[in-house]
Structure 1
Amino acid sequence: MAAFGTEFMPTMAQSHYQNGLWTRPTIVPLNTLQLHPGAHVLHYASTCFEGLKAFRHQDGSVHIFRLPANIARMQQSSRLLGMPEPDAQLLEQMIIDLLKQYLDKVPEPPGSMYIRPTHIGTEATIGKAAAPTSESLLYVLLSPVGDYFAGGAKPLRLLLETENMRCAAHMGIIKGGGNYASALPHILQAQREHKADQVLFCPGGDVQETGAANFLLIDGNEVITRSLDSSFLHGITRDSILTLAADLGMSVSERELSVEELIERAAKPHCEAALSGTAAVLTPVGTLLYKGCEIQVGTGQLGPTTERLRSALNAVQWGQSPDRHGWLTKV
Structure 2
Amino acid sequence: MAETPAPLDFLVQKNLAAKNQAEREQLLVDPGFGSVFTDHMVDICWSEKGGWHRPQVRPYGPIQLDPAAAVLHYAQEIFEGLKAYRHADGGIYTFRPDMNAKRMNRSARRMSMPELPEEYFLQSLRELIAVDGEWVPSDPDQTLYLRPFMYAKEAFLGVRPAKKYDYRLIGSPSGAYFSGGVKPVTIWLSETYSRAAQGGTGSAKAGGNYASSLLPQAEAAEQGCDQVVFLDAEGNVEELGGMNIVFVKKDGTLVTPDSDTILDGVTRNSLLQLASERGHAIERRGISLAEWREGVASGDIVEVFACGTAAVVTPIGALKAAEFSDAQPTGELGLSLREELTDIQYGRRDDAHNWLLRLD
What's the TM-score, normalizing by structure 1?
A: 0.94
User: What is the DSSP-based 3-state SS (H/G/I as helix, E as strand, rest coil) of the residue aligned with 1:101?
Assistant: helix
Native 8 Å contact 2:40 2:132 kept in 1: no
Candidates 186, 191, 195, aligned match of 1:166: 195
Which whole-Å deviations, capped at 9, do the CAs of 1:100-145 have from their partners, x for residues lacking one? Answer: 2222221123111100001000000112x2x101100000000111
Per the TM alignment, residue 90 of structure 1 is displaced from its structure 2 partner at its CA by 1.5
Q: Where do residues 189-228 of structure 1 align in structure 2 (5 Å cutoff)? A: 189-192=219-222, 194-203=223-232, 204-220=234-250, 221-227=252-258
SS at match of 1:76: helix
What residue in structure 2 maps to residue 178 of structure 1?
Answer: 208
Distance (whole Å) between structure 1 residues aligned to residue 296 and residue 354 of structure 2: 34
- 1:287 to 2:315 alignment: no
1:134 aligns with 2:151: no
Equivalent pair of 2:295/2:301 in contact (CA under 8 Å): no
Contact 1:48/1:119 (<8 A) preserved: yes
Among 84, 95, 103, which residue is 2:133 paired with?
A: 103
Report the TM-score, using the length of structure 2 for normalisation.
Answer: 0.86
CA contact (8 A) 1:167 1:183 kept: no
1:32 deviation in Å? Answer: 4.8
Bigger CA drift: 197-206 or 140-149?
Answer: 197-206
* Count of residues in Structure 1 that have an aligned counterpart in Structure 2: 324
2:90 corresponds to 1:90: no
> 2:18: which partner in 1?
none
Instruction: Supply the distance in 1 between the matched residues of 2:74 and 2:301 (Cα, whole angstroms).
Output: 47
Q: Distance in 1 between matches of 2:273 and 2:332?
A: 18
Letter in 2 for 1:327: W
CA–CA distance in 1 between the matches of 2:74 and 2:185?
34
Conserved 8 A contact 2:39-2:132: no
Structure 2 residue aligned with 1:114, among 115, 140, 145?
145
Residue range with higher mean Cα deviation, 44-53 or 23-32: 23-32
Give the direction of change, closer, same or farther, for the CA distance of 1:270–1:168 in structure 2 (3 Å limit).
Answer: closer
Work out the CA distance in 1 between the residues paired with 2:236 and 2:300.
Answer: 23
Which stretches of structure 1, 4 residues or more, deviate above 3 A after TM superposition? none
Q: 1:106, 1:231 → 2: CA distance?
A: 34
Instruction: Give 5+ residue unaligned stretches, structure 1.
Output: none
2-structure distance, mates of 1:167, 1:80: 14
* Distance in 1, Cα, partners of 2:282 & 2:356: 23
What pairs up with 1:26-45 in 2 under 5 angstroms? 26-45=56-75
Quick check: 1:224–1:254 contact (8 Å CA) kept in 2? yes
C-alpha RMSD over aligned residues: 1.6
> Distance between the aligned counterparts of 1:100 and 1:289, measured in 2?
46
